[in-house]
Chain A
Amino acid sequence: MISARRSETFPGRWASRHPLLDKLHIIGGTPLAGEVRIAGAKNAALPILAATLLADGPSIVGNVPHLHDITTTMELLGRIGVGLVVDERMRIEVDASSTRDFFAPYELVKTMRASILVLGPLLTRFGQATVSLPGGCAIGSRPVNLHIEGLRAMGADIEVANGYIRAKAKRLHGARLVLDLVTVTGTENLMMAAALAKGETVIENAAREPEVVDLADCLNSMGAQIQGAGTDRIEIQGVDRLQGTEYNVLPDRIETGTYLTAAAITRGKVKVRNTNPDLVEALLTKLAQAGAKIETGDDWIILDMEGRRPEAVDVHTAPYPAFPTDMQAQFTALNATARGVGTITETVFENRFMHVQEMQRMGARIRLEGNTAICSGVDRLTGAPVMATDLRASASLVLAGLWAEGQTIVERIYHIDRGYENIEEKLAGLGARIRRVPT
Chain B
Amino acid sequence: MSEASINRRGSKICLEGELSFATAAGLLREAAPLLEKGSDRLLLDLKGVKRADSAGLALLLEWVAQCRRRGRPILCQHLPESLLDIARFSNVLHLLPLRG
**Apart from A11-B57, A15-B91, A88-B83, 15 more pairs, CB < 8 Å:** A2-B24, A2-B25, A4-B25, A6-B55, A8-B58, A9-B21, A9-B54, A11-B61, A11-B87, A11-B90, A14-B61, A17-B94, A68-B91, A86-B53, A90-B86
Residues of B within 8 A of A90 (CB): 85-86, 89
Give the distance to chain A from B77, nearest Cβ to Cβ, in Å.
Answer: 19
Interface residue? A87 (CB, 8 A): yes
Per-residue interface assignment for chain A, residues 16 to 40, with 1 indicating a CB less than 8 Å from any chain B CB and 0 otherwise? 1110000000000000000000000
Q: State the CA gap A146–B69 with chains docked (Å).
A: 50
Residues of A within 8 A of B82 (CB): 88-89
Q: State the CA gap A17–B88 with chains docked (Å).
A: 12
Q: Are B90 and A15 in contact (CB under 8 A)?
A: yes
Q: Interface on A for B, CB 8 Å cutoff?
A: 1-4, 6, 8-12, 14-18, 66, 68, 71, 84-90
Give the distance to chain B from A93, nearest Cβ to Cβ, in Å.
Answer: 8
Q: Which of B17-54 contact A (CB under 8 A)?
A: 20-21, 24-25, 28, 51-54
Give the distance to chain A from B44, nearest Cβ to Cβ, in Å.
Answer: 15
* CB-contact partner of B92 in A4, A14, A88, under 8 A: A14
Interface residue? B14 (CB, 8 A): no
A-B contact count (CB 8 A): 77
Overall SS of chain B's interface: helix
Interface residue? B59 (CB, 8 A): yes
Residues of A within 8 A of B54 (CB): 9-11, 84-87
Q: Are A9 and B91 in contact (CB under 8 A)?
A: no
Residues of B within 8 A of A15 (CB): 90-92
Q: Are A2 and B62 in contact (CB under 8 A)?
A: yes
Q: State the CA gap A17–B87 with chains docked (Å).
A: 13
Q: State the CA gap A247–B82 with chains docked (Å).
A: 20
In this complex, what residue of A is CB-closest to B57? A11
Q: Are B53 and A85 in contact (CB under 8 A)?
A: yes
The 5 A-B pairs with the shortest beta carbon distances in the complex, nearest first, are A9-B55, A88-B82, A86-B54, A15-B91, A87-B53
